[in-house]
Amino acid sequence: MSAIEEERCAVRKQESVDEANEKLADSEKTVNEKSQELEDAKKELESGKSKAAEELEKAKQQLTDGEAELADAKAADCRRRDTACRCKSAAE
């Protein structure tokens, strides 16, 4: 092989190595970006779960309060109409 051919071969080899390194760097950057997106999505999901749990607890409390208020109103209405009412709430 002549010196020129050896030099061309070395240049092609270096170009291939450089291209591979560039692709590797791009891939690593993409992996890092996607990893960050995943972490952000996980944080958002956990935040959403916490918020949903809080809202559910508030709704349960409102339901309990509303049921108690309704029972009190029924008992008061029953007592007002008939002091001998047999409804469960009036006995309380």
Q: What is the pLDDT of residues 2-61, one digit of tens each?
A: 988 999 999 999 999 999 999 999 999 999 999 999 999 999 999 999 999 999 999 999
74 contacts 91 by C-beta, under 8 angstroms: no
In tens, the pLDDT along 68-90 reads 999 999 888 888 877 655 555 44
Q: Which of 54, 91, 57, 52 is nearest to 74 (CA)?
A: 91
Could you tell me the CA-to-CA distances from 78 to 56, 75, 81 in Å, in that order?
33, 5, 5
Radius of gyration over alpha carbons of the chain, in Å?
37
- DSSP helix, strand, coil percent of the chain (3-state; round to 5): 85, 0, 15
